Each structure stands twice: as structure tokens, then as C-alpha cells.
Amino acid sequence: MSILCEAGKPMLDFRDLTPPEIIDAVQAAGGTPHQGQRVARAVLRGGVQSVEELPVAGRLRQALSGRFRISSLGVEAHRLSKDGSGKFLYRLADGERVEGVLIPDRRRNTLCVSTQLGCRSGCAFCLSGSQGLIRNLLPAEMLGQIHAASRVSGTEIHNLVLMGSGEPLDNFENVKRFVQSATHRFGLNLSPRKITVSTSGIIPVIQRMPTEMPVSLAVSLNAPNDELRSRLMPINRKYPLQDLMNALRYYGRNGRRVFIEYILFLGVNDAPVHASALADLLQDLTCVVNLIRFNRYPGARFEPSSEDAVRVFQKILLDRGLVSVVRDSRGADIMAACGQLRAAKDPVPG
């Protein structure tokens, strides 16, 4: 249900606005640019929970309270993995739920952020998209995941990976606004290099990223040819591999490095012939290939490749001059690893 202001129009959520928009809104309500900057920092960095708490004079607060609200997410469940990762079940204002993961290490904490409820991509191996797309998340709901995770865990978030539930580039306008608030000096003030957006390969939006959202790009590839990739990832039928490679070369033309995510499935895409074909495909692309063993979940159609097969696969890539890293999956024991997140109206077990 929409919250209405006195004029009967829906109230705007301050956390759906970018810092320049917040500054403009404060000035329109009679404030100064400096007051607008203070409001933007207070709202977007999570220090206040309501308009009544804003660090401005009472008359200005009153003017803003009739037009704006400040949303937050509830945390319905928080589970810790034996490896230290934490999975959050966030409760949204409309009763929907979405998951996210906090991945700590010795020097930095990385939050895996969801961008949609469900996903329309339909990848054969991913639990997150098994329900299809329910709806897009708003910038405030993405920002709310950061505030909620930091509040519950008591830790600072240093890096963001948009690799939770959803296809970020299918929700590009909302994701772009979220990134603007995350990177602006009056927002979260994160470096764009600290934010990674993962995509299944929506070419027209990848081509917009260098100028509109210059953050790190990760592409879920998972196959070295169109026949196999189309079976694993239906989006390949619309955006085939050679077209995708051309878009990635365009993205990387100014020295930007692309992260290639390659999930290894037993007997499907993990043979030496697949590694050689992948090396051919990526030979002129500046990239890092992240190899990830498939993470099981109940009802999955696939099994993870053996550790020996992963090592052989990686060696072939390294021998061909590619940078390749075997990524450990964090949080698999609590269904918090890559491909295991989901969104649901009912509490999610595991």
C-alpha cells in the first residue's frame, strides 16, 4: 500500500533518490545546499530511520515530513555459516522476502546484494530464478540491504557484489540509481571499483555501462559454445556468444578488466576440450576467469565437477596465458553460496 502525503499523492522515499535529487528536494523545501548535503549523508549512510530524525531545523523537517519518508528493511532471519559467512532473510514492506549474504575476510567485508525478487533469465542451474521474476527491487530496497546487514552484523561493508537474486541489468535504471547513491561523496562514498555487477549477458545494457555505470563487470558465461550455453542459459538464444564477446571487448576497450564467471558442472562443461575452447573464445579479451564448482541444492539437475577436473581445467587456461582463479564457495552449508539464494513469501529453510 502506498503511503500518501497531505495532497493525496504517494510520498517519496528519500532512499530512492540520488544525492543530487535529495539536495534539490531540500532546497525546494526551503533549505540550503549545505543542509541538503547533510540530509543526503544522514539518509543514505543509514544514520536516521525517520524524517523526524534529520539533522536540520524543525521548520525544514516539518516541510520535508509532509512529502518524504525513509524506509528500512527488517531482518527476519540471520544464519551464520561455519566459514563465517552470514545469510540474511530480509522482509520487504509489501511482505515479500529476499536473501543476501555477508562475506567477511581479514581485511574487508563484502555484501552480496539482490536486485530483483526472482529472475526471468531461467538459467538451468540457478535456484534464484526457479520462481521466475516476481518484481524489480527499488534503490531503497537495495540500499536497505546494506543498512540491515551492517546493523545486524555490527560490521562495516567495504565491497558490494550485485550477485544475489535477480539479473541486475534487467533492472538497470533502479540499479544505476542505487550505484549512484553508493558511490556519491554524499552517499555511501564507495569507490566504483568496490562494486561489481554480475550479468548473464544483456548486451545493450553492457554497452551503456562504461558511460552510465562504470563499475566492475562480471559475466556469467559457463560454456564455450552457443549450443551448450543456450541449454544452460536461455538468454544466449537472444544474445549469442560472439555478439557478447564483441560487447565485452567494447566494454574493455579502455583497459577495463572483465571477470568471467564459469561454473563447472560434472560431465557437462568441465572437460579439457571445453577449457581449450574457452581459451580460444577469450584470447583477445582482458579478463580474469573465475572457476566455481557448482553448488548443490535440493532438486538440482547438476553435480559439481571434481577437484581434479577443476585443476586440469585451470591449468589449460593458465598455459594459454589467461588469468584464472578457482573461487571457494562461501556459505554453502547454509544455502548461501552462488546460485543458492531465492526469494519467497514464506520463510526459506536452510
Catalytic residue among 52, 99, 167, 212: 99
**How many angstroms separate the CA atoms of 249 and 235, rounded?**
19
CA angle 263, 284, 339 (to 5 degrees): 15
DSSP 3-state of 6 = coil
**How many angstroms separate the CA atoms of 39 and 127, rounded?**
39
**How many angstroms separate the CA atoms of 78 and 182, rounded?**
24
Query: Catalytic residue at 338?
Result: yes
- Whether the CB-CB separation of 220 and 163 falls below 8 Å is answered with no
Where does the chain show beta strands of DSSP type E?
12-13, 68-69, 74-80, 86-91, 97-104, 109-112, 116-118, 133-136, 159-162, 195-199, 216-220, 258-264, 287-293, 323-327
Q: Phi-psi region for residue 27, left (φ > 0), alpha (ψ -120 to 50) or beta?
A: alpha
Catalytic residue among 112, 123, 126, 338: 338
Residue 16 DSSP code: G
DSSP 3-state of 260 = strand
Report, as residue numbers or ranges, the catalytic residues.
99, 338
